[in-house]
Amino acid sequence: MLLRLTRVAKFYGNRLVIKDVSFEVSAGTVTLLAGPNGAGKSTLLKLMAGLSRPSAGSVEHGAAPDASGDALGYLGHQTFIYPELTAFENLAFWARLHGLAPERCSEEALLAALERMELKRFAFERAGGFSRGMAQRLNLARVLLLSPSLLLLDEPGTGLDTRSMAILHREIAAARDRGAGIVWISHSVAEDLARADRVLAIADKRVVYSGPAADYVPEAVAC
């Protein structure tokens, strides 16, 4: 178990956003977090990340199966890309910030990480000049650099073109193959069902589906 939510509820002030959410994330699985706009998906992902505290219930993080990986990778709506730094410098800074072992943040390793995102030829250009899609790919490279065992993605496809989406899908599959547990808020749930193992759908402040992706019918919960 990488993550366990037990009867989680969240209030903003006295306004209830979600209630009674129980869910577990296991190693080597992709979960799509689905639900209509404003259902509380981002709120739930932040609770999973530990960026927000539940008003009731508990959020527990389990031991990472791969001790060499960072426990948690969270990709939210902010990119945390420094515009004055080059793509390479952004990754180098992030790696230093997280005390990554020298062999994992050598020039070769960082360039390889950029190459995977098809950003190597822009490695020494200022990130401030990047398009939305390029910045998002750099953001993904940043999060994946730590090989997180729990990967939480809040609409990572935002601003990505078709080719970049293919890279994103490949990286999600690769993370699952190395044993990571992934929770992914996607705007194209129907399209991404085939890429997922499980679905957690929320609507009307509660869980309306929790189970295998293969059995999930998006229309049933008006996503």
Least distance between ligand ATP and beta carbon 173 (Å): 24
Residue 105, SS3 per DSSP: coil
Q: Which of 3, 35, 76, 137 is in the footprint of ligand ATP by CB under 6 A?
A: 35
Given a contact cutoff of 8 angstroms between Cβ atoms, the answer to whether 45 and 54 are in contact is no
Least distance between ligand ATP and beta carbon 151 (Å): 17
Q: Which of 2, 3, 5, 17 is in the footprint of ligand ATP by CB under 6 A?
A: 17
39 binds ligand ATP (CB under 6 A): yes
8 binds ligand ATP (CB under 6 A): no
CB burial string 110-130: b at 16+ within 10 A, e below: bbebbebbebbebbeeebeeb
16 vs 111 by CB, closer to ligand ATP: 16
12 binds ligand ATP (CB under 6 A): yes
Nearest to 152 by CA among 37, 22, 43: 43
Structure tokens at 139: 């953001």
54 binds ligand ATP (CB under 6 A): no
Least distance between ligand ATP and beta carbon 154 (Å): 7
48 vs 92 by CB, closer to ligand ATP: 48
| 211: Cα within 13 Å, side-chain hemisphere | 7
Residue with tokens 């601003």: 159
Given a contact cutoff of 8 angstroms between Cβ atoms, the answer to whether 15 and 183 are in contact is no
39 vs 72 by CB, closer to ligand ATP: 39
Binding site for ligand ATP (CB under 6 A): 12, 17, 35, 37-43
